[in-house]
Amino acid sequence: MIKKNNYNLLLSDLTKLKGVGKKTAELLKKKKIINILDLLWKLPKKYTDKSISTKIENIKIGEEQTVTITPYKYNFPRIRNLPNRVLCKDETGFLDCVFFNSYEGYIKKILPLGKQITINGKINFFRNKYQITNPKYISEDSNLIKTKHKKYSLTEGISENVYNKIINQIINNLPDLDEWHNQEILKNFNNVSWKEAVNLLHKPENIGKFQSSFYRRLAFDEIFSSFLVQSEIRKKIKKKKKKTKVIDIKLQNRFIQNLNFKLTEDQIKSINEINNDISSNQKMFRLLQGDVGSGKTIVAIIAAYNVINAGFQVAIMAPTEILARQHYSSIKKNFNSSINVEILSGQTNQKSRKKILNNLERNKINLLIGTHAIFQKKINFKNLGLIIIDEQHKFGVNQRKKLSDKGGDDCDILLMSATPIPRTLTMTIYGDMDISLIKQKPKFRKKVITYTKLDSKINEIINFIQKEISNGNQIFWVCPLIDESNKIDHSSAIKKFEYLKKIFPNKVDILHGKTEKLEKELILKKFLDEKIKILVSTTIIEVGIDFPNANVIIIENANKFGLSQLHQLRGRVGRGQKDSTCILMFKSSLSENARKRLNILKKNNDGFKISEEDMKLRGYGDVLGFKQSGLKIFKLADPVHNHDLFSLAEREIKRIERENENIGRFQTLMKLYDRADIINEMV
C-alpha cells in the first residue's frame, strides 16, 4: 500500500497495490500502464451519475439506473444454462435481478430476502417485466452506490468496478510531497498543490476541464520537467572543454565568393552562429533547422570547410546512400583538390574500404561521407573535429546524447533537419540543443505552384504530364498505399504503376517501402540520370536527394496526408531551373476540415506557418509522425492549447540558468515524470 510521504512507491510495480495480481498487472500493461504513477495519467472519459435513485415505475429501458429494491423470492432453476433470478419490488412495481454464472450462495449473500438493497445496472424489459442482468453495483449501504462513478478507457478483462477500486486506492493514499515550485510560479495556478491537483483531476465533475488551475498545474509540471532535463544536458555538454578551432575567415569568404549564387541573411547568420561555437572552448551541439529548399547543405559544407582548414577531420552522415553520394559530388565540386574527400558505403569494395580506413587513421582523409555505418567502432579517425548528421528529425534525446559523445570532447556536432515544426514543438523536442533557423528561401529557388484536382479528372492530368515529358521534364506520382486495400479507399502505388506504364511504356518505375535497398538505390539513380520519366512512389521520397529535372509532383488522396507531410513532398520539386507544379488529387466527398487543409497549402509556401496550422488541425502527436516515432512525450500538456505554459516554462528555465540556481528541489519532479535517468546516465 502507498504510504504517506513516500513518492518512490508511486514508481513501484502495480502488484504493490491491494487487489492487483500478476494477471491484472499484465492486462494494465497492455494500456502502457507499467507502474502505479502511470494510472494517474489515464484520465476518466466520462462518469455515470448513480446519486439519483429511481422508483421502479419511473425507470427507463436501455439506461443505466440506480434503484432501491427489496428481494422477496429466489428462482434457482435446476436446468443447466438457465439463469438464476431474484424477484424484487418496491412500493411502485416489480423488477427481476438476473444472474448468469453466479452461485446460489453468493446471490443469497448479496441479495438477502426482506432487506432493502440499492442496486445499479442497465434496465431491460423481458416478458412484460423489468429486469437488470448481472447488476454492476449492489450494496445494503445506498451511500456506497449513490455517487458519481468514473468511466475509464479499459482494457479487456478489467471491469469498471475493479478499475475504479484500483484508482481510488491510489488517489486516497497519495503522498504529501514537498512543493518544488516557488510562489511566483504557483500563483499562476491558484497555489494548488500537486496532490490536490491529482485529486481534482480524477473527480467525475472535473472531466474535460482542461483550462482549470489543477489541470494546467499538472500540464506545466510535465513541460517544465522536460525543459529542466534539456537544460541540464546543455549545461553538461558545455562543461566539456575542447581545443579551440581557429577559423580562417579570409579562406571562408573566398569560398563563399566563388559560389554561383548569393547566400541569404539567414544562411549568413547561421554560419556565424556555427563559427562562434566551433571557435569556442565549449563543445558545439547545434541543430541547423530550415524549410524545404532553404539551403542548409551549403551552410554545413562551409562549416566543414572551416573545420578542415583548422586542421581537423570531418564526418558527414546521410540517411541514404544516394543522398551520401549526392553530398560527395557536391563537395568534390566545391572543394579544391588539396582537400581529400572520400565516401564509404555498402557498395565500397573491400580493397577500397581497407585503404579508406587506413588513410582515415593516418589523417590522410579530411572528410568522410557515408550512412550511419561510418560510426561503427572499427572506423577510427585520427583527429575528428566535426560530425554533421543530415535529416535526423526522428532522433530522441537519448540518441542525441550518445551521438554527442562521438569523436571525444574535441568533436563538435551539427545536426540538420528539413522539418519545419512549430516553436513549442522545437522547444520540446530539441531543447537540449542550440538552434540555428533558416526560414528564407534563396532567390534562385523556383516557386512551386499548387493546384487541387478531382481524381475523376485524371485524363486532364495525363494530358498535362504528356506535355511535360515532351518538354524533357520528369514527374513524381505519390500514392498512400503499396497494395490495394479493401478497408481504406486509397489509391495503390502498384495499381497506379500498372496503369501509367500502359500509357507511358518504358518511362515509369515504382518505389515503395518493400523495395530492396540496392534496388531502391538503382531506381533512384535511373530517375536522377533521366532514364525514366515518371517515378511512382509512396511517401518514402518525402525526404531525400535533389532531382533538378523533376518539376511536377502529383499526390493522390492528398486529403489523407497532414499539411506538413504534403509540404515535405511538394519540396521534392522546384530544385532546378524550371517552374514547378504540385497537383493535389482528391475525391469529391471532402470534409470541411480537409478542404481547409488543402487551401492552406495552396496559398502558403512557408513550412513553419504550415506546420503551425497542421498542429492546430491535427494535434501535435500527428504532426510528421512524431507519435509513431515515440516523440509524443506529454500525457496532459498540449503545445497548441498550453502555448502560454511552454513560454512560462522557458522563462523559468532561463531564470534558473541565469541565477545558476541549484536544481536539487526538482529531483522528485523529474523522477515522477521519468526524466531523471537521462541526466544520471550522462558522463
What is the predicted pLDDT for the residue at 399?
Answer: 55
Question: Could you tell me if 562 and 586 lie in one domain?
Answer: yes
Cell of residue 245, nine digits: 578551432
Nearest to 537 by CA among 491, 504, 469, 580: 491
**CA–CA separation, 594 vs 573, rounded Å?**
23
Q: Is residue 35 part of a domain?
A: no
Please, are residues 242 and 410 in contact by the beta-carbon 8 Å criterion? yes
Same-domain status, 468 and 493: yes
589 within 8 A of 560, measured Cβ to Cβ: no
Average pLDDT across each block of 10 residues of the chain; the chain has 683 residues. List them in order: 58 79 81 79 68 84 88 90 92 93 88 91 88 84 58 63 78 86 94 92 82 93 89 81 91 90 92 95 88 86 94 87 81 86 83 88 91 76 88 56 66 84 74 84 78 88 92 89 52 84 91 78 85 86 71 88 81 81 85 79 80 69 42 73 89 91 86 58 39
Residues 6+ apart with CB under 8 A from 177: 5, 7, 193, 194, 195, 668
Characterize the bridge pairing of strands 367-370 and 580-586.
unpaired
The count of structural domains within the chain is 4
Do 480 and 531 lie in one domain? The reply is yes
Question: For residue 471, with 0-12 CB atoms within 10 Å meaning exposed, 13-18 middle and 19 or more buried, which class applies?
Answer: exposed
In whole angstroms, give the CA distance from residue 222 to residue 40. 13
> Are residues 510 and 433 both part of a single domain?
no
How many C-beta neighbours within 10 Å does residue 279 have?
14
- The residue among 418, 438, 458 that closes a domain is 438
Shared domain for 271 and 413, answered yes or no, is yes
CA distance linking residue 623 with residue 610, whole number of Å: 11
Task: Report the pLDDT value the prediction gives residue 218, as an integer from 0 to 100.
Answer: 93
What pLDDT is attached to residue 346? 73
Instruction: Give the pairing type, strands 93-99 and 64-75.
Output: unpaired
Q: d(Cα 455, Cα 2) in Å, to the nearest integer?
A: 60
Whether residue 372 is found in the same domain as residue 284: yes
Q: Looking at residue 552, what is its pLDDT?
A: 92
Q: Does 32 fall in a domain?
A: no
| Residues 429 and 543 reside in one and the same domain | no
pTM above 0.75, yes or no: no
Buried residues in 435-453 as b, exposed as e (16+ CB within 10 A): bbbbbbbbeebbebebebb
Residues 283 and 387 in one domain: yes
Q: Among 438, 465, 490, identify where a domain stops.
A: 438
> Is residue 267 located within the same domain as residue 207?
no
Q: Are residues 366 and 317 in the same domain?
A: yes
Give Cβ neighbours of residue 390 (< 8 Å, ≥ 6 apart).
297, 300, 316, 317, 318, 319, 323, 327, 416
Domain final residue pick, 391, 411, 438: 438
pLDDT confidence of residue 294: 83
Residue 678's domain comprises 177-239+660-683
Residues written for the chain:
683
640 lies in a domain?
no
Cβ-contact 552, 473 below 8 angstroms: yes
Same domain, 426 and 470: no
